[in-house]
Amino acid sequence: MSAENGKNGIPDVPAGPRPEPLRFYGTTWVHHDNGYTARRAGLAVGSLAVAAAACFVLRIAYQGLQIADIGSFVSLLMIVMFAICSTLAFRHTWSGFTSRPDPDRQASMRGLLAIGFVGSLLAYFFRTFTEAPGEKLHRAEYEKAREEYEKRITRRSGNPTKKRRRK
């Protein structure tokens, strides 16, 4: 329930910028309330479990290649491909938690990130130990927006017709 301002039951919404919601967390990252810690723990366990399941599926795919007897070179190529793509996806996902990714670069890396999805899941898992993934970036942007808003409000206070003119 939100507080009401007493005028026709309209909720009392604070003026100024609002925090941007994070996936799976909403805006609980602002004050670390409403199950924030439980969500972090649950998402850490969940991302690790999905990464383990994905590795199991990749192992079954590798065994299928061995049964097909396509050769050791192709098998080695597949392992190297998934290792490199997972490493790049980990690095890209990890850097995306501290800075906004370039949309053009993000679009061009979509295929690589899809192949290296295990790396992205592991980056998410490790980041949840310190914060909600992306929380530091969103917090810095939100605090900067709040500071700029406060500066604008304080400059505009008072009646402008009563100000003295400079000569």
pLDDT at 155 over 80: no
In the block, which residue shows the tokens 């808003």?
149
- pLDDT, greater one: 157 or 152: 152
Tell me the backbone φ, ψ of residue 111, rounded to 5 degrees.
-65, -45
**Which residues are bridge partners to 26 per DSSP?**
22
Reduced to 3 states (helix: H, G, I; strand: E, B; else coil), residue 21 is coil
Q: Hey, what amino acid is at 113?
A: L
Q: Which pLDDT belongs to residue 66?
A: 87
Please give the Cα distance from 162 to 152 (Å, whole number): 19
Q: Note the maximum CA span of the chain.
A: 91
pLDDT (tens digit per residue) in 65-124: 889 988 889 889 999 999 999 999 999 999 998 888 888 988 988 998 899 999 999 999
Q: Which has the closest alpha carbon to 93: 59, 128, 49?
A: 128
133 contacts 104 by C-beta, under 8 angstroms: no
In the block, which residue shows the tokens 């793509």?
85
Q: Which has the closest alpha carbon to 113: 98, 124, 129?
A: 124
pTM of the model: 0.77
pLDDT (tens digit per residue) in 110-130: 998 899 999 999 999 999 988
Q: Which pLDDT belongs to residue 115?
A: 92
Mean pLDDT of the chain, nearest integer:
86
Q: Which pLDDT belongs to residue 165?
A: 66
